[in-house]
Homo-oligomer: A and B are copies of this chain.
Amino acid sequence: MTKLSEDDLAAVSSLRAAVMRLSRRLRHQRVDESLSPTEMSVLGTLARCGSATPGELARKEHVQPPSMTRIVAMLEGKGLVRRDPHPEDRRQVVVSQTEQAEAMLAESRRKRNVWLAQLAEGLTDEEWATLREAAPVLEKLAHL
Contacts and interface: CB of A to CB of B under 8 A. Distances in A.
B62 A25 contact: yes
Contacts of A133: 130, 133-134
B144 A1 contact: no
Given A18-B139, A142-B21, A130 B134 contact: yes
Interface string A42-73: 00100000000000000001110000000000
A74 interface: no
Given A11-B132, A25-B62, A127 B139 contact: no
A12 B127 contact: no
Contacts of A77: none
Interface residues of A, number: 60
A19 B138 contact: yes
Tallying the copies of this chain within the complex gives: 2
A37 B20 contact: yes
Given A14-B135, A24-B63, A4 B116 contact: yes
Nearest to A44: B17
A135 B4 contact: no
Contacts of A141: 18, 22, 119, 122-123, 131
Contacts of A2: 125
B61 A21 contact: yes
